[in-house]
Homo-oligomer: A and B are copies of this chain.
Amino acid sequence: MVDLHGRDLLCTQDWSIEELEKTLDLAFEMKANRYDHPLNNCLDRRTFFMFFYNPSVRTRQSFEAAATELGGHAQFLEPKSMRLKSAKTAGETIEDAAHVMSRYAVGIGIRILETALEHYGQGHELLQEYAQYASVPIISMAHDKYHPCQGLADVMGYRMHGGKNLKGKKFLQVWGKGALVRSWCSVQESILINTRFGMDVTLAHPPGYDLDPEVIKMCEENAAASGGNFEIVHDLEEGYDGADFVYSRNWMTSGFYGEMQKNGVDAAKKKEIELAAKYDDWITTKDWMSKTNDAFFTHCGPVDRNAEVTDEVCSGSKSIVYDVAENRLHVQKAIMALTMGKK
């Protein structure tokens, strides 16, 4: 029996395949029966805290809507006004904050990305510290390393359009140019969960855009365990060839943090934007899509149109970006119901 009550969710990698399948099954059920599912009252009068160290569009919208649809309420909180202790300022420790908030709420979501951090991994450590002291589940709403709710929404989208069994489907995760200097979290979550579900995952990016080696190693292990495949290429032809799903997205280089520490966030972004501008071919076009196995186009949103992907592809008949965005709501409802819903 799978029982997720009380469990944290920092990365899908922390949950078993059975636990992820149970979550996806419930998400599909909740989508089919949006306002009338038997678990629709499972957060009745309960509070879910959302901590946004970094702002967000759809994460806030979808989490707050998810809590509402389950009969509860998600509080929108910005830690900058929370008098928390830091290296520089007196204030409340995470130990105390986590203990007290566990008295008020049934769960806590945290979003923390690069610009609120000093080095890669620090956000993950912060979530782990909250998880250590809180007696209620800690759910990542995207942090520097992972974005589990996005990963589950992605898989739900692939199943909606590609069928339940994803084994053997070729999945292309391809770097895209653009000026948004994006986090690694959605991409790392994507290659982790897709290798676990047995897809043949190709990660394509220009030289210098390497992701976390620890994540790469986990992907290789996932592929070996699931009977799928994982490879990294720097060539677009190779990447698009025969793909069933294409997910293009910009991400920063590993040099971003150091540059930010040295010269500030604006300078670090400027440097990334200049570097990214060199890779003019790295945009998903109709031409590139013609080399695939009539692939679906996906993206976690917000899309940087005409940088990561052309309008033609993003608004085309094979684009599943709105469905994937909608799925955030359903998987988050399922996660909340399973980890913190009343019994």
Binding site for B on A (CB under 8 A): 35, 40, 44-47, 49, 55-58, 60-62, 64-65, 68-73, 75-77, 81-85, 90-93, 95-97, 99-101, 103-105, 178-180, 301-305, 307, 315, 321-322, 325-326, 329, 342
Contacts and interface: CB of A to CB of B under 8 A. Distances in A.
A46 B100 CA distance: 26
B77 A61 contact: yes
B61 A180 contact: no
Contacts of A301: 92, 96, 100
Nearest to A75: B64
Contacts of A321: 96
A94 to B, nearest CB: 11
A83 B45 contact: no
B100 A65 contact: no
14 contacts: A35-B342, A58-B100, A61-B101, A61-B105, A64-B73, A65-B104, A65-B105, A68-B73, A85-B305, A91-B302, A95-B315, A96-B301, A99-B322, A103-B329
B49 A61 contact: yes
Contacts of A315: 95
Nearest to A55: B81
Contact of A100 (B75, B179, B305, B326): B326
Given A68-B72, A103-B325, 4 more contacts: A61-B77, A85-B305, A90-B180, A104-B329
A61 to B, nearest CB: 5
* Complex copy number for this chain: 3
Contacts of A57: 82-84, 92, 97
A291 to B, nearest CB: 25
B304 A90 contact: yes
Given A103-B322, A104-B326, A90 B303 contact: no
A217 B148 CA distance: 56
B61 A75 contact: yes
Given A55-B81, A302-B92, A329-B103, A45 B71 contact: yes
A93 B302 CA distance: 8
A331 to B, nearest CB: 13
B49 A45 contact: no
Nearest to A67: B73
Nearest to A58: B100
Contact of A65 (B75, B83, B97, B307): B75
A209 to B, nearest CB: 18
A41 to B, nearest CB: 9
B40 A35 contact: no
Contacts of A322: 96, 99-100, 103
